[in-house]
Amino acid sequence: MVTIKSRSELELMEVPCKIVAEVLEKLEEFIKPGMSTLDIDKFAENIINSRDALPSFKGYRGYPSSVCASVNEVVVHGIPSQRVIQEGDIVSIDVGAYKNGFHGDAARTYAVGAISEKAEDLIRVTKESFFKGIEKAVDGGRLTDISHAVQVYVESHGYGVVRDFFGHGIGRELHEEPTIPHYGKPNRGLRLRAGMVLAVEPMVTAGYYGVKTLKDGWTAVTEDGSLAAHYENTVAITANGPKILTL
């Protein structure tokens, strides 16, 4: 069932969402060549805990860490480790925070030092595809209008939209209804209503859109080894249009 949040519930949700936004903003300066993805995880967790919040991901369905740290061909759910990030890498960080009985969730892809023009373009198009999608996140619209807008924009730039992972509703639970694909035909699915809160999160590949999950049961990589990028925000649908809570 899709939950409609009241004004007071949305105000409570803004708190963990702002913590997530703070983490992602501070990572922009923190991430450097030579550090490990575990360093990133500890940095993010310390900020979350210092705000009297909890990392949404840690322990969720057995996930061991506070963030997902996905490097280069890793699409999503990369487990932080002693892996050292190098100049020219790109790293996608997905982070959630829980406070006031609600979750916030967002992701960004960061350049590690100087990166290739192709990698820069992939990050840019992934981010822009999110904003194309949420132009359709309006009261009275249809769910797959978001999906279609993302797909059209990504594919117009020659990239692939991942089909194995989806956006989702969010609130008192980290993952709620509805499930949000980032591809598909428009004017299908759920009728959007003010008070719905969605985590829209296109994952985009520089090559073929297919992914596979590694033996750890979490880490998802591109089938062809091409680079991947990820951009996500928690978005409230309002009578006046979409409101991004994690910016």
- CATH number of residue 138's parent domain: 3.90.230.10
**Domain-located, residue 2:** no
**Domain-located, residue 66:** yes
In this predicted structure, what is the pLDDT of residue 27? 98
Percent of the chain at pLDDT exceeding 90: 100
**Domain-located, residue 139:** yes
**Mean pLDDT, rounded, for 88-104:** 98
**Domain-located, residue 193:** yes
The count of domains in the chain is 1
**Mean pLDDT, rounded, for 204-224:** 98
**Mean pLDDT, rounded, for 28-54:** 98
**Domain-located, residue 1:** no
In this predicted structure, what is the pLDDT of residue 225? 98
**Domain-located, residue 174:** yes
Percent of the chain at pLDDT exceeding 70: 100
Residue 80 and residue 37 in contact, taking contact as beta carbons nearer than 8 Å: yes
* Structural domain harbouring 182: 7-244
Burial grade of 172 (CB within 10 A; 0-12, 13-18, 19 or more): middle
In this predicted structure, what is the pLDDT of residue 95? 98
Cis peptide before 178 (omega within 30 of 0): yes
In this predicted structure, what is the pLDDT of residue 42? 98
**Mean pLDDT, rounded, for 162-172:** 98
In this predicted structure, what is the pLDDT of residue 179? 98
**Mean pLDDT, rounded, for 208-234:** 98
Give 197's pLDDT tier (boundaries 50, 70, 90).
very high
Dist CA 246 CA 240 (whole Å)? 18
Give 90's pLDDT tier (boundaries 50, 70, 90).
very high
> To the nearest whole number, what is the mean pLDDT of the chain?
98
In this predicted structure, what is the pLDDT of residue 21? 98
**Domain-located, residue 214:** yes
**Mean pLDDT, rounded, for 19-32:** 98
Give 199's pLDDT tier (boundaries 50, 70, 90).
very high
In this predicted structure, what is the pLDDT of residue 106? 98
Q: Label the pairing between strands 220-222 and 90-99.
A: unpaired
**Domain-located, residue 187:** yes
Q: Which residue has the tokens 């992914």?
A: 211
